[in-house]
Each structure stands twice: as C-alpha cells, then as structure tokens.
Structure 1
Amino acid sequence: MIKIGTAQLWVHDQDEALKFYTEKIGFEVREDVTMAELGNFRWLTVGPAGQPDIAITLMAIPGPPVMDNDTAKQVSDLMAKGFAGTIFLLTDDCRGTHRELVERGVEFVEEPEERPYGIDAGFRDPSGNHLRLTQLPDR
C-alpha cells in the first residue's frame, strides 16, 4: 500500500511560516533539522496534532545550483498569486474553526460557504500559499 507521508509548500521565510502554522493554525513541529553539510539546508515539517502520519514540509525556495534565479522568481510569483499549491484541511465544524482561526489572526479570503461538497472557506499563509478549510457533509 502507498500512503502520503509528506506534502510540500514553498515558503519565503521558514521562521515566519513555522510561527503561522504552529501559533495560528495549531499544528505541531514534526522535524526541524539544519544540515551544515548541505549548506545549512533546513528540513522543517509541521502537521496536525491528531494526525501523526502526515506532515507538511515548509520548504525555503533554494538558490543555485538547486534552482536557478529565474525559476526561483517564477515560483515566488506563483506563490504571490496563490497558485503554487493548495493544502486542503478538513474540520468537523467549518464555521466554528473559521471563528477560532480568525481570533488567532488568520485572514480569510473566502468566508465559509455552503458548496455541493460541504462547507468551505479559504485563506492564505504569509507566503501566499492557498489553504482550504472544508467540512464534508455527513454521509
């Protein structure tokens, strides 16, 4: 069987992203390792406390030789538009979780709304990544 273990988001500032995902979203740190032998590459992952088998890597945009400057700018531009990837978060109470996240300082770009697939809202992280908060209908 194949399972998803880690998904990745590009971030402009790993410390800012870490603070957002832990303090505002309520995720916990899974790994935070800096490898000097790889030019101080930092492997930083977070995830929901109740879901230890999945993590999101908060990956800094690398420079050369890993990524040339033009590609790094393209990735950064896509992030600014909210099109560098989306993470879908599930909740049992979209409106309640929305209120809780707003109280923690999360700014939503779409308020909770009834959709054919459930109740859904959207927000972005400090790097511009798009996140969806979804409550699936009872089945």
Structure 2
Amino acid sequence: MKQIIGAVALVVPDYDDAIAFYVEKVGFDLIEDTRLSEDKRWVLIAPKGSSETRLLLAKADGAAQVAAIGNQTGGRVCLFLNTDDFDRDFQAMTENGVAFLEEPRTEVYGKVAVFQDPFGNKWDLIQHF
C-alpha cells in the first residue's frame, strides 16, 4: 500500500499575493488555479521538482481564519522546504527578496535557515546531510 499527503492547506489573506510570493520569490510552480465561486479558488502550488505533495493556498474566510493567518502553528516553523542545494536556493531566494530570519546554520541533521512569508508563516529551508 502507498499513501501520500496530496496537499496541505495554508490560510492566506489573498490568493494573488500568495501566488506572487511563492511563485515569483520562492520559485514554486503554480500547479492549478481554478475558480470555484465568486470568492473561492482552488490554488495548488509546489516546489520545482516536487511530484506528490502540494500546498493549497486557501483564502481566509471569517474572523477565525483571518486570525490564524501566519500563526497556524502557534509561532513555530510551519513548513519545511527540503532542497538538494541549500546555497543555491538560499542565494536565489535572498536575491528575490525572501526575508530570512537568521543566517544559515549547520545542525546535526543538515544546513538550515528560517524564512518567513509576507503573511507571517515560518519555513525551514533545509538540506539534509
């Protein structure tokens, strides 16, 4: 039996702003952008080369969801972007204006640095050893 996580929802304030950040600055691919209604879209993005797990950009609907933007994990790193070349991706993302919250560091498991999207979500960019 094989199972995969097909998508993880990330609550954002605006579809187009989120697409612009993740596609233009981080370098993800826009997999799908389908209008479901006047206010809702099905927006899937994924890191380049990713073949299974996607990120579903979900526009906040209502006060509780708006309050969760950028704090879906209580201030912890929310998502982990694995790379095969940390230095390449760190440099490209930095040049594209991605806000890293720290300098790259080496841990027992790999090279890592935390970055933040414009909505407050924290990510690890990580290359495992």
Aligned to 2:41: 42
In structure 2, what residue type is equivalent to 1:78? N
Aligned to 2:71: 78
What is the CA–CA distance in structure 2 between the aligned matches of 1:105 and 1:61, rounded to whole Å? 24
Pair 1:52 & 2:44 matched = no
Do 2:70 and 2:120's aligned partners in 1 also have CA atoms closer than 8 Å?
Answer: no
TM-score, normalised to structure 1, is 0.81
Pick one of 102, 120, 125 that aligns with 1:110. Answer: 102
What is the CA–CA distance in structure 2 between the aligned matches of 1:77 and 1:99, rounded to whole Å? 24
Aligned to 1:28: 29
SS across alignment from 1:105: coil
Aligned to 2:4: 3
SS across alignment from 1:21: helix
Q: How does 1:64-75 map to 2 (within 5 A)?
A: 69=63, 71-75=64-68
What is the CA–CA distance in structure 2 between the aligned matches of 1:77 and 1:59, rounded to whole Å? 12
Aligned length in residues: 127
Pair 1:97 & 2:97 matched = no
Question: Identity of paired residues, percent?
Answer: 35
Structure of larger gyration radius: 1
After superposing on structure 2, the runs of 4+ consecutive aligned residues of structure 1 that deviate more than 3 Å are: none
Q: Which runs of 5+ in 2 are unaligned?
A: none
Q: Which runs of 5+ in 1 are unaligned?
A: 64-68
Change in CA separation of 1:72 and 1:8 when aligned onto 2, cut-off 3 Å: closer
Pick one of 98, 118, 122 that aligns with 1:126. Answer: 118
Residue 93 of structure 1: how far off its partner (Å) = 2.3
Deviations 1:45-94 (A, max 9, x none): 1002311322101111112xxxxx3x235313726x744x6110111222
RMSD: 1.9
Change in CA separation of 1:73 and 1:9 when aligned onto 2, cut-off 3 Å: closer
TM-score, normalised to structure 2, is 0.87
